[in-house]
Amino acid sequence: MTETPAPPPPPPPPPNAQGDYPVTLTFDSPETIARWRPLVHWLLAIPHLLILSVIQQVAQILAFIAWFAALFTGRIPGGLQKPIAMYLRYNARVTTYLLFQREEYPPFAFDIPFADPGDDARVRVDVAPAVENRNRLTIFFRLFMAIPQLLVLVFVWIAAVVVVIIGWFAVIILGRWPTGLNDFLIGVLRWSTRVSAYLYLLTDEYPPFSLS
């Protein structure tokens, strides 16, 4: 009698995967980083930083329009949300390069689907936006509701600055990011991305106080 082969194990989750929050950020960490990278990435990132500042202003304007749309109609058109999702994705790509966590230069890509198009080798940001039946009460008080998150993130980012300084020396000396420090930075970026998505009205689900 022939035995039935066991089913293959499920595929592993993507690196730095998180729970079921509607905005997810994953990062594929490289094993090594060239030792000269921390010395120049801040300079090489300037074109992206200039573009990012413009995209951020556009996202803020769209979020302001979306705020009125949600209050009056209870919904936010996807046309307002997709550029905001693109801004969050672009910000994650630029930030990981600026902090010399990767060697690949971020693409000058401005696609606006909610699902990450996959044109960046390291960073993926996917958004499952809330469109219909928006919570008008939480949208009206959105900025005030986000204050606890923003206060905690101030201290988390202070710790992240210390981690970046340590990582700067670690990469120059060892040619790699220490795993724990790198994971902490990605966790901070993930947390910040969720809070930004909440503030920019992509979701009504309150962000968790979590790095994972």
Tokens at 117, concatenated: 């198009």
| Averaged pLDDT score across all residues of the chain | 90
Name the pTM for this structure: 0.87
pLDDT above 50 (res 3): no
CA torsion angle 153 81 50 96 (round to 10): 50
Residue written as tokens 């970046």?
Answer: 164
At residue 197 the predicted structure's pLDDT band, cuts being 50, 70 and 90, is very high
Tell me: the pLDDT tens digits for 33-56? 999 999 999 999 999 999 999 999
Average pLDDT over residues 3-28: 61
Cα separation of 191 and 210, whole Å?
Answer: 6
Query: Among 9-13, 57-61, 118-122, 132-136, which is the least confidently predicted range?
Result: 9-13
194 within 8 A of 21, measured Cβ to Cβ? yes
pLDDT above 70 (res 8): no
Tokens at 189, concatenated: 């970026």
Element (H, E) at 48: helix 46-73
